[in-house]
Amino acid sequence: MTKTIVAVYEEGIFKPLQRIDLPEHKHVHLVVMPEEDARLLESQRKELSSIIGIGKSGISDISRRHDQYIYEG
């Protein structure tokens, strides 16, 4: 199970801001990402997901006629 949680770092300890369903003394791997970076990553993810499927135009010669499609409209 992989889960992303929000935590605060205080006095050398990561303190989750929500209840975590793990047994005591369970070893886990932490990836520390500052909140600003997480917000940027999420905004990038949203933007990229908006262009999913954009290449499904049905045109099969785009690489060969690239300039014509771009500049001659």
> What's the domain range around 13?
1-49
> Is 73 among the domain residues?
no
Residue 9 β-bridge partners: 14
Structural domain tally of the chain? 1
> Is 65 among the domain residues?
no
> Is 19 among the domain residues?
yes
* Per-residue model confidence as pLDDT tens digits over 19-60: 999 999 999 999 998 988 988 988 998 888 888 877 777 778
Maximum CA extent, the chain = 65
Residue predicted with more confidence, 58 or 12: 12
- Measured in residues, the chain has a length of 73
Task: Give this prediction's pTM.
Answer: 0.50
> Is 56 among the domain residues?
no
pLDDT for the residue 73: 59
Sign of CA pseudo-dihedral 63, 64, 68, 73: negative
